[in-house]
A = this chain, B = another copy of it.
Amino acid sequence: MLRYALLGFLNYQPLTGYELKQFMDSSTSFFWYAKLSQVYTTLKSLESEGLLDSRVEAQAERPDRRVYSLNERGAEELRSWLARAMTELEPQKNTFLLRLFFSGESEKENLLAQLHLMRQLHQEQLEVYTHQSPEVIRQTAARSPGLARHAMLWEATRRFGEMYEEMFTRWLEETIEVVHKNFT
Residues on A facing B (Cβ under 8 Å): 1, 4-5, 8, 11, 27-33, 78-79, 81-83, 85-106, 110, 113-114, 117-118, 121-122, 125, 147, 149-150, 152-154, 156-157, 159-160, 163-164, 166-167, 170-171, 174-175, 178-179, 182-184
Contacts and interface: CB of A to CB of B under 8 A. Distances in A.
Contacts of A113: 85
A52 B68 CA distance: 49
Most buried by B among A1, A88, A113, A164: A164
24 contacts: A5-B98, A28-B97, A30-B91, A31-B92, A32-B97, A32-B98, A33-B91, A81-B99, A82-B99, A82-B102, A85-B113, A85-B114, A87-B117, A89-B122, A90-B94, A92-B94, A97-B160, A100-B156, A104-B149, A152-B179, A156-B175, A156-B179, A159-B174, A163-B171
A8 B170 CA distance: 27
Chain copies in complex: 2
